[in-house]
């Protein structure tokens, strides 16, 4: 084969790297879920490339290497250009339900981002189409390159700004062009110079990030006196520490209306332009810190004396400071984002007044569930702070985000780590009509019942202000003294004690529109299931297999909510789920229109004795879908087990792609035994299904190396088998009907693109176990439909 | 636009506690030239019942929400109202049309200049607008009969509570840009005690079937 495998690996590496970097970049300039939508659609460039080559691929015959290099070169050039142009598109995610033009802008943005992926796919599809017999080697190089791309993007994000990382990836594509070139004067080697120089020669100022003006940071920067103290890059987000001497931040979520003193000036911390989280001067004086006792989150400190506190998701440290302000004996602060923790420990530390140097405070950089798995417990108080901004929370932007901190299993862990009379405090932004607080209450009730508590409502309390609320879950029933203390606190600061110790409490500060008490009573009684089924939001508890706590969307409410648009009813619509569904539907529609139908026309009539296009379509569509379902389900399931969502995803993705790459190479020896790999996937996948819950239940506390080894032992054999069916099909197609090769590639690509959002949609509805099961059924069906793979070649048509 | 708002208000009477928007509010909204408060690119939509972008990451609220907020302030001609977050100036204009004396503070310099100029031209006697940090209110002009806080805040600044007259009201919209979720109404009684309640702009009762 004339194109070096290294060139193929390079282009795959660059393409996957670009995919990850675009997600990161668009999370900074827009919002995460729309980044997901835009990049998902852009990946349809792979399918479009299949179409283009099915129609005009013959023109490349004899000049594959030149076309490969030209496409790689164009990928390298268009990757940064497409991002820069896509940023200029005036798409406003927040206006999408008001203004139909926003969908057009989004389509244009996706179309621009599609361009580099199209060129990357042309490179791969060219070599598959013209050298199908070498499919196992090509696919192997493709997968290994992609595996390297996943790791490379992560490493680059640690050390470089994301724009610079984008240029490195573009340079890699130029290197692929150089490696692929074959000509008398060998100009390809000349390309290596810009390939190496591009990432460093292009000034970063040429690729400025232009965040949405509706992001919190954009608005804070508009204020006179705003000054960036420090910016830090990292794979978990772009951190910006902002100071404003003229208009200082004063952040006190849910501060009582009866509060007399304002909080002291604070530093504002933004992650990907969202926030702010406040860093408060600890040495500002006790009077200035009085506000920490005048928020709903201060309630547990009215019930506990010098507690040992665990803060899960410490962020900028306000809850840590609040604990110290209330004489906590010891505070363990757990923060997942290492870059954020480092920022708090050095740059922000002088401003925070040595918060993290206090002998009573210990900062742990860890994922909360993973941290808990290795801890003995005995805390009097476990705190889950407010997360996200009020605005992002109100817009329902987290609907499709997994959250392993608010599942049944998580609740069980929190309770297990409490002392016999300890309590969990979950702080939330207030949403009305209520949804998240009811889901939390339902979760707590179910977990307590499962632990043999006959009257769980006696161990739950809810206090709310006008903007925030705190739900307390105690390991033992609240005492009369505690209820009296809660009532006094509510009265003193004009809060509402909506529920305490199994009964509604006379709450006179707010209107009773929220009807928390009514809902709590129903959730704690025999009508719970009926109540949850009838409720207009999805308030069924989340669990580790279906970790979508923030998903409240119900189809049955959609028509009613849309009819309320003119009356300001759109905030009732949780946007995450519809956006995800729109992603999948658009991918489906575009796949059908742009790829499948034109290819059908171009592929010509079926030659006598050749392979039926229906069989080929079904086979490659099932492989594309099933591969993505398994990959995403395993990444999600194992993220919790490995203890860090980002690194775990990178590790699992690398294992999958490497394992599949090895499988692809080995598949060259299996040409007359196509059933084996498919049967292997179904059998090993079934074994994984049985073992994953056991691992999650018993292995969370194992040392990391042991957990990684366990994951590798599960994933690698599965991926090894998953790497075989595609090259087997391509090779057989090359022998029997090579004109269908680009079409088959396009079908596989389109269904892979659709597979990613489909995996999440299915997981939200049915859980990840069933997503794995669905994928295994698809592989089984592919095995049944793979008769054409077994037939002996009847000559090349 | 006004007819539409009137109809919508009737449909949501149970939630807002108001069978209809006050005729004074509707009359004021009918008189305000809303197209002058939106950028040229949005003028075609100026009288549609939807929020519109006005630059600087800010929006002009949906007219129905403006009507509801103004109505909830329950102010009479000649009263003094403090507005935190002038934005486009439209809310101040509606209040001015009702004969209210409006004091408005905007923190974004560009918006403050634009809205200040327009309001100065349209309502020179009724609206006093300035650029500044609204956190501390407007001590020199206090106390106020009503305060409307249109700029997002994590809490109600204590100085604003102090500058609200006994018997006065404050209205705060909560939610994201383009998506006002609910309105918080803060009331200060004659004894200075502060209470608040939420007003949902729509009728959407999630409790069903005998609960």
Taking only Cα atoms into account, the Rg of chain A, rounded to an integer number of angstroms, comes to: 28
Local confidence band at A392 (pLDDT 50, 70, 90 cut-offs):
low
**Contact assessment for residue B115 and residue B58, using Cβ atoms and an 8 Å cutoff:** no
Q: CA-CA distances (angstroms) from residue B51 to A357, B58, B68?
A: 47, 10, 14
Give dist(CA A138, CA A597) in Å, integer: 27
For residue A569, give the nearest of B156, B161, B202 by CB distance: B202
With cut-offs at 50, 70 and 90, classify the pLDDT of residue A605. very low
CB contact under 8 A, B181 and A432: yes
What's the gap in Å between the CA of A390 and the closest CA on chain B? 7
B123-141 tens-digit pLDDT? 999 999 999 999 999 999 9
Q: Mean pLDDT across the stretch A648-674?
A: 86
Look at residue A739 and tell me whether its pLDDT is greater than 90: no
ipTM of the complex: 0.89
Tell whether B23 is within 8 A of chain A (Cβ): no
| pLDDT, tens digit (0-9, with 9 covering 90-100), for A147-199 | 999 999 999 999 999 999 999 999 999 999 988 876 544 656 677 777 788 88
Q: Provide the H-helix boundaries in B74-170.
A: 90-97, 109-122, 158-163
pLDDT for res A796: 36
What is residue A578's predicted lDDT score, i.e. its pLDDT? 79
Sign of CA dihedral A473, A477, A481, A484: positive
What does the alpha-carbon distance between residue B25 and residue A424 come to, in Å, rounded to a whole number? 47
Best residue of A226, A567, A575 to probe chain B, by most B CBs closer than 10 Å: A567
Of A224, A252, A536, the CB nearest to B155: A252
Mean pLDDT of the residues in chain B: 88
Query: For the segment A269-309, what is each residue's pLDDT rounded down to a tens digit?
Result: 999 998 899 999 877 676 789 999 999 999 999 999 999 99
Q: Say if residue B39's pLDDT is above 50.
A: yes
Q: What is the pLDDT of residue B17?
A: 58
Of B49, B154, B174, nearest to A566 by CB-CB distance is B49
Mean pLDDT across A647-660: 89
Supply the pLDDT for residue B209: 45
How far is the CA of B106 from the CAs of A222, A746, B146, in angstroms? 12, 54, 17
Lowest mean pLDDT among A135-139, A250-254, A692-696, A767-771: A692-696
Interface of B with A in 191-210 (CB under 8 A): 194-198, 200-209
pLDDT for res A792: 52
Chain A residues within 8 A of B14 when measuring between CB atoms = none
Cβ within 8 Å of B, A 704-763: none
Is the pLDDT at A511 greater than 60? The verdict is no
Mapping DSSP onto H, E and C, the string for A475-493 reads: CCCCCHHHHHHHHHHHHHC
Overall average pLDDT of the A125-129 stretch = 91
Q: What pLDDT was estimated at residue A389?
A: 56
What is the radius of gyration, based on Cα positions, of chain B? 16
Q: Which of B57, B64, B207 sits opposite A568 (nearest CB)?
A: B64
> Inter-chain contact A212–B184, Cβ cutoff 8 Å?
no
Q: Of B196, B205, B211, which has the smallest distance from its Cβ to A522's Cβ?
A: B211
- Cα separation, B24 vs A550, in Å, equals 42
Give the whole-angstrom CA distance, residue A736 versus residue A792.
9
Q: Can you tell me the distance from the alpha carbon of A420 to that of A706, in angstroms, rounded to the nearest whole number?
A: 32
Which stretch of A197-206, A459-468, A677-686 has the lowest confidence by average pLDDT? A197-206
Any idea which of A690-704, A721-735, B86-100 has the lowest mean pLDDT?
A690-704
The predicted model scores a pTM of 0.90
CB contacts of A219 in chain B (<8 Å) are 56-57, 108
Per DSSP bridges, beta strands B101-106 and B80-84 are parallel
Q: Residue A525: closest CA among chain B residues belongs to which residue?
A: B211
Mean pLDDT within B179-188: 86
Mean pLDDT value of segment A260-277:
89
CA dihedral defined by A521, A524, A525, A528, rounded to 10 degrees?
Answer: 100
Q: How far apart are alpha carbons B69 and A275 in whole angstroms?
A: 26
Q: Is the pLDDT of residue A507 over 70?
A: no
CA–CA gap between residue A116 and residue A123 (Å, rounded): 11
> Higher model confidence: residue A732 or residue A791?
A732
Distance from the Cα of B130 to chain A's closest Cα (Å) equals 14
Q: How confident is the model at residue B33 (pLDDT cuts 50, 70, 90)?
A: very high
Which has the closest alpha carbon to A232: A223, A222, A242? A242
pLDDT at A102 over 60: yes
The Cα A25–Cα A87 span in angstroms is 10
Range with the poorest average pLDDT among A96-105, A379-388, A628-637 = A96-105
- What does the H/E/C string look like for A631-691? HHHHHHHHHHHHCCHHHHHHHHHHHHHHHHHHHHHHHHHCCCCCHHHHHHHHHHHHHHHHH
Mean pLDDT of chain A: 87
Predicted confidence at residue B11, as pLDDT, reads 64
Proportion of chain A above pLDDT 70, given as a percent? 91
Q: What number of CA atoms fall less than 13 Å from residue A301's CA on the CB side?
A: 21
- Tell me if residue B154 is catalytic: no
| DSSP bridge pairs for A226 | A244
Does the pLDDT value for residue A764 go beyond 60?
yes
Lowest mean pLDDT among A31-35, A181-185, A234-238: A181-185
Least confident stretch, A189-193, A302-306, A674-678, A768-772: A189-193
What does the pLDDT read at residue A690?
A: 92
| Candidates B22, B41, B61, B154; catalytic one | B61
Average pLDDT over residues A328-344: 92
Residue with tokens 């940071």: A217
pLDDT at B154: 83
Determine the residue of chain A that is closest to B59 in CA distance.
A214
Residue A607 pLDDT exceeds 70: no
For the cut 80, the answer to whether the pLDDT of residue B148 exceeds it is yes
Interface of B with A in 66-105 (CB under 8 A): none
CB contact under 8 A, A394 and B179: yes
* pLDDT given for residue A795 in this prediction: 41
| CA distance linking residue A523 with residue A525, whole number of Å | 6
């Amino acid at each position: 084969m004339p194109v070096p495998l290294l060139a193929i690996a390079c282009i795959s590496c660059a393409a996957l790297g670009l995919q990850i970097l675009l997600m990161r970049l668009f999370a900074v300039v827009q919002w995460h879920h729309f980044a997901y939508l835009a990049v998902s659609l852009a990946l349809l460039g792979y399918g479009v490339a299949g179409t283009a080559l099915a129609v005009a691929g013959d023109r490349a015959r004899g000049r594959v290497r030149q076309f490969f290099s030209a496409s790689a070169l164009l990928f390298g050039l268009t990757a940064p250009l497409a991002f820069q142009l896509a940023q200029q598109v005036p798409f406003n995610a927040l206006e999408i339900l008001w203004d139909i033009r926003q969908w057009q802008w989004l389509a244009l943005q996706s179309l621009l981002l599609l361009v580099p992926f199209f060129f990357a796919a042309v490179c791969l599809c060219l070599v598959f189409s013209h050298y199908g017999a070498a499919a196992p080697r090509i696919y192997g190089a493709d997968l290994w390159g992609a595996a390297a791309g996943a790791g490379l993007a992560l490493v680059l994000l640690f050390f470089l700004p994301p724009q610079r990382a984008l240029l490195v990836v573009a340079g890699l594509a130029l290197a692929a062009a150089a490696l692929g070139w074959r000509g008398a004067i060998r100009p390809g080697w000349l390309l290596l110079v810009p390939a190496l120089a591009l990432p460093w020669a292009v000034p970063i100022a040429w690729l400025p990030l232009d965040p949405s003006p509706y992001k919190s940071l954009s608005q804070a920067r508009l204020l006179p006196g705003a000054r960036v103290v420090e910016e830090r890059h990292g794979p978990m987000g772009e951190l910006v520490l902002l100071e404003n001497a003229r208009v200082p931040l004063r952040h006190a979520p849910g501060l009582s209306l009866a509060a007399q003193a304002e909080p002291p000036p604070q530093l504002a911390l933004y992650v990907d332009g969202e926030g702010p989280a406040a860093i408060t001067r600890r040495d500002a004086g006790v009077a200035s810190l009085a506000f920490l006792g005048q928020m709903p989150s201060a309630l547990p400190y009215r019930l506990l004396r010098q507690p040992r506190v665990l803060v899960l998701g410490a962020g900028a440290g306000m809850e840590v400071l609040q604990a110290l302000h209330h004489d906590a004996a010891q505070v363990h602060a757990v923060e997942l984002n290492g870059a954020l923790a480092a920022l708090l420990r050095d740059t922000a530390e002088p401003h925070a007044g040595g918060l993290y140097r206090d002998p009573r405070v210990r900062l742990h950089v860890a994922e909360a569930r993973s941290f808990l798995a290795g801890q003995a417990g005995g805390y009097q108080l476990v705190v889950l702070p407010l997360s996200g901004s009020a605005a992002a929370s109100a817009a329902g932007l987290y609907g499709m985000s997994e959250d392993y901190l608010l599942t049944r299993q998580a609740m069980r862990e929190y309770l297990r780590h409490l002392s016999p009379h300890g309590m969990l405090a979950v702080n939330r932004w207030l949403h009305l009509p209520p949804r998240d607080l009811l889901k939390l209450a339902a979760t707590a009730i179910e977990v307590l019942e499962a632990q043999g508590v006959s009257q769980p409502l006696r161990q739950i309390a809810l206090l709310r202000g006008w903007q925030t609320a705190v739900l307390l879950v105690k390991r033992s029933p609240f005492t009369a003294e505690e209820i009296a203390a809660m009532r006094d606190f509510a009265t003193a600061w004009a809060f509402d004690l909506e529920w305490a110790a199994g009964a509604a409490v006379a709450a006179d500060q707010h209107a009773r529109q929220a009807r928390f008490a009514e809902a709590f009573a129903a959730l704690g009684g025999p009508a719970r299931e009926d109540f949850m089924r009838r409720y207009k939001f999805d308030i069924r508890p989340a669990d580790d297999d279906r970790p979508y706590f923030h998903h409240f969307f119900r189809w049955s409410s959609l028509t009613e909510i849309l009819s309320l648009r003119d009356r300001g009813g759109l905030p009732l619509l949780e946007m995450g789920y519809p956006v995800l569904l729109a992603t999948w539907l658009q991918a489906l529609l575009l796949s059908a229109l742009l790829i499948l139908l034109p290819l059908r026309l171009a592929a010509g009539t079926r030659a006598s004795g050749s392979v039926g296009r229906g069989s080929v379509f079904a086979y490659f569509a099932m492989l594309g879908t099933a591969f993505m379902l398994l990959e995403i389900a395993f990444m999600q399931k194992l993220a919790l087990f490995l203890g860090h969502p980002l690194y775990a995803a990178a590790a699992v993705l690398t294992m999958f792609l490497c394992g599949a790459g090895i499988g692809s190479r080995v598949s060259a020896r299996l040409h007359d035994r196509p059933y084996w790999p498919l049967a292997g996937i179904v059998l090993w996948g079934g074994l994984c299904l049985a073992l994953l819950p056991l691992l999650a239940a018993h292995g969370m506390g194992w040392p990391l190396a042991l957990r990684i080894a366990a994951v590798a032992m599960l994933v690698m054999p599965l991926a090894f088998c998953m790497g075989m069916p595609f090259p087997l099909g391509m090779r057989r197609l090359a022998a029997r009907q090579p004109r269908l090769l680009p079409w088959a590639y396009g079908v596989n690509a389109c269904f892979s693109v659709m597979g990613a959002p489909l995996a999440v949609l299915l997981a939200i509805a049915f859980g990840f176990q069933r997503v794995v099961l669905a994928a295994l059924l698809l592989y089984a069906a592919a095995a049944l439909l793979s008769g054409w793979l077994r037939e002996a070649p009847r000559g090349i048509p | 636009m006004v007819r539409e708002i009137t109809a919508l208000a009737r449909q949501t009477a149970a939630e807002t506690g108001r069978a209809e928007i006050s005729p004074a509010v509707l009359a004021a909204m009918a008189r305000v030239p809303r197209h002058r408060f939106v950028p040229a690119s949005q003028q075609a939509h100026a009288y549609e019942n939807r929020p519109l972008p006005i630059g600087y990451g800010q929006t002009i609220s949906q007219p129905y929400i403006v009507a509801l907020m103004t109505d909830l302030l329950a102010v009479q001609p000649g009263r003094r109202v403090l507005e935190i977050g002038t934005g486009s100036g439209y809310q101040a204009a509606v209040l001015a049309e009702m004969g209210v004396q409006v004091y408005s503070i905007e923190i974004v310099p560009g918006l403050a200049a634009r809205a200040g100029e327009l309001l100065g031209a349209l309502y020179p006697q009724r609206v006093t607008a300035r650029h500044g940090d609204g956190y501390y209110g407007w001590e020199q002009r206090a106390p106020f009969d009503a305060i409307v806080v249109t700029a997002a805040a994590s809490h109600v600044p204590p100085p604003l509570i102090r500058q609200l007259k006994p018997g006065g009201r404050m209205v705060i919209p909560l939610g994201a840009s383009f998506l006002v979720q609910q309105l918080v109404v803060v009331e200060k009684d004659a004894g200075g005690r502060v209470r608040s309640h939420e007003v949902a702009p729509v009728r959407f009762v999630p409790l069903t079937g005998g609960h």
